Structure 1
Amino acid sequence: MTIQRRTFIAAIGSSAAVGLAGCAVLSSDDDNDDNGAGIRGDTLTLTTTTSTYDTGLLDELNAPFEDRYGVTVDAVAQGTGAALETARNGDSDVVMVHARSLEDEFMENGYGVNRRDLMFNDFVVVGGSDDPASIDGSDQVTAAVTAIADSESMFVSRGDSSGTHTKELEIWEEAGLDPTDFGEWYMEAGQGMGEVLAQADQQGAYTLADRGTFLSMQSDLDLEIHVEGPIEDGPERLMNPYGIIAVNPAVHEHVNYDLAMAYIGYVTGADGQKRIEEYTADGEQLFFPEALSEEPNFEQYVPQS
């Protein structure tokens, strides 16, 4: 791997995980005092991108958190845009998403607080082995999508305002192309990543996918990676960072802010980050932890605009 990842600090104990996010300390089931009784039985509503659900990562992260605090995590898998809209309406406590421009808008409008970098992987362009647009091995994703458009090769878009769809639209725009001008070869599925990969497989089409979901489904697909992301020397344009944000209790006073911050502390702490790092499918690492570093990134807390 050529990416210079921030050094993972494994020495930090998981008992400090809650404090790492600047959140209130909540007692676990192992505590002998009565503080834990205030949260046991609570439910945390998490809206999140489909990739964290489709890959199985959420099960790996949420079960230990639920056991530790005696709570339930209700994970609602949506595209990033829908996940943020649900939170904007006050119907979730915390969001885990991957479209920084949409996250910044959410924060700037006052709906979210205490954003943290969580993890990353990258995007890849996948398609059938016949590769009708001859893009295999391309190191320029804009050139690749231009070739797809010029050849009118079938392309399946998420079409759902998700993080992946947002990235896809950015790539078309950078290539000087507008999907509203495309013909029938361009299909908007309005579905999650798993469904879109299955549809692309059935149609022999290209699509933009996050590497984690593709790797988790690869054994069931007749698709292959034609354009790599930066994890495998591809263009930085295909980087895919994930963030986690608590819903602002000053806007929606009913949200479970303390439990949301406990969850943020857990997934960005040593235990959660270790679980992210060690989670694999068919021996392939799907996500790379980004919360702990010897040189923390201050920009994670403030909008990039």
Structure 2
Amino acid sequence: MKKLILGIFLISSLLIIGGCSTQEMPEESPLEVISDDVVEGSKDVILATTTSTQDSGLLDILIPAFEEESGYTIKTIAVGTGQALEMGKNGDADVLLTHAPSSERELLDSGDIINYNLVMHNDFIIVGPAEDPASIDGSSSSDGFAQIANTESIFISRGDDSGTHKKELSIWKKAEIEPSGSWYQETGSSMGQTLKVASEKSGYTLTDRATYLALLDNLSLEILIEGEADLLNIYHVMQVNPEKSDLINEDGARAFVEFMLSERGQALIGEFGVEEYGSPLFFPDGGKDPKEYGLDY
């Protein structure tokens, strides 16, 4: 029956990635199709996470190490952060790894998630064609967005309510611009796919650094804006409140959170990318005070 669950989840994920950003989860949870076959002590753990953790290759390092150490099997559903959080809210996952602190805080305050922990960060960057038709190189993020809009240069948005999309919208808001027109295009898809579209169309986009570097060999895009405090990209790991469903694997979810915060988990995060790029693609934050990043919880 676990295969049936994952089949439903994977179909749902593909529809979300390939379709519009406003697609809603089905009214009936896919977990409701089973009951008697789920037993205490299940070794399957459903992880709802962002496409950036998958596209960057980080999960390819972390998950095998966790499975080897714990004996649990991770079933990954990689979608936009908004969709991953919705799965948590609906009790359709066991554990979440996302990067939208303000939206996560809403679930924390409502009791939908527990065991909420700062785990790592990297940063967002704005990339575009080398010729830089909007002349944004070296600008602030909001000024760069304003120049893109004023010149109607192509901008490719994820448009999928992901953490990256939420960050993009916050920059447009800071620039006091509501983007619209043929120059502003939404993919409704993953970060990797959005980068590919931006490259093919010689457009600009906002991306996390890790996914950009992981795909760089196949992209014709350069980093044009980086290094702002506002472009910090903060990740948290959390359990879905087991009171939401009898089908939630509380023990497995707790084990995953503990692994991510453990010495080994944090070391794997900090080492990822160093050999290939000379610097980590993510920086471990387990045990740090969230107030260092302006977070209050």
- TM (norm. structure 2) is 0.82
* Aligned positions, number: 256
Aligned counterpart in structure 2 of residue 201 of structure 1, from 194, 199, 202: 199
Q: Name the structure 2 match of 1:73.
A: 74
SS of alignment partner, residue 166 of structure 1? helix
- Residues 121, 239 of structure 1: 8 Å contact kept: yes
What secondary structure is seen at the aligned counterpart in 2 of 1:159? coil
Instruction: Give the aligned partner of residue 231 of structure 1.
Output: none
Paired residue for 1:14?
A: none
Q: 1:192 to 1:48 in 2, by over 3 A?
A: same
**Counterparts of 2:248 and 2:42, CA distance in 1:** 15
How far did residue 41 of structure 1 move? Answer: 6.1
1:235 maps to what in 2?
228
Matched residue type, 1:288: F
In 2: Cα distance, 1:304 partner to 1:186 partner = 34
- C-alpha spacing 1:39/1:105, structure 2 compared with 1 (3 Å): same
Unaligned runs of 5+ residues in structure 2 are 1-38
**CA RMSD after TM alignment:** 1.9
Counterpart position of 2:184: 186
1:80-134 alpha-carbon deviations (Å, 9 max, x no partner) = 0011111222111000000111101111222101110010000000001010000
**TM-score of the pair, normalised by structure 1:** 0.80
Q: Counterpart in 2 of 1:263?
A: 256
Q: Which residue number corresponds to residue 223 of structure 2?
A: 225
- Confirm or deny: 8 A CA contact 1:41 1:70 kept in the other structure: no
User: Which residue identity is paired with 1:245?
Assistant: M
Deviations 1:261-300 (A, max 9, x none): 11101111110000000000444421000013xxx41659
Quote the residue 1:290 is aligned against: 285
- Matches of 1:303 and 1:210, distance apart in 2: 20
Partner residue, 2:243: 250
Q: Rate the CA distance shift 1:41–1:69 in 2: closer, same or farther, 3 A.
A: farther
State the match for 2:10 in structure 1: none
User: 2:271: which partner in 1?
Assistant: 278
Name structure 1 gaps, 5 residues minimum. 1-37, 229-233
Check conservation: 1:216, 1:282, Cα contact below 8 A: no
The letter of the residue matching 2:148 is I
Q: Secondary structure at the match of 2:97?
A: strand
1:26 paired residue number: none
Higher RCO (CA 8 Å, separation ≥ 6 residues): 1
Counterpart of 1:162 in structure 2 is 162
Change (3 A) 1:89 1:52: same
Q: Partner amino acid for 1:289?
A: P
Structure 1 residues 254 and 40, CA, compared in 2 at 3 Å: closer, same or farther? closer
- How far is 1:254 from its partner? 2.2
- Counterpart of 2:243 in 1: which secondary structure? coil
Classify the secondary structure of the residue corresponding to 2:270: helix
The equivalences for 1:1-40 within 5 A come to none
Q: Which moved more, 1:210-219 or 1:102-111?
A: 102-111
Q: C-alpha separation between the residues in 1 aligned to 2:291 and 2:109? A: 14
The residue matched to 1:178 in structure 2 has which SS?
coil
Tell me the percent identity: 43
Task: Give the 5 Å matches for 1:127-138.
Answer: 127-138=128-139
Structure 1 residue 252 displacement after superposition: 2.2
Code of the aligned partner of 1:211: R
Q: What is the DSSP-based 3-state SS (H/G/I as helix, E as strand, rest coil) of the residue aligned with 1:250?
A: helix
Find the residue that maps to 1:116 and give its secondary structure. Answer: strand
CA drift at 1:68: 1.5
Partner of 1:114: 115
Indicate if the aligned counterparts of 1:119 and 1:288 stay in contact, CA closer than 8 A.
Answer: yes
**Residues of 1 paired with 2:69 and 2:295: CA distance?**
32
Aligned to 2:174: 174
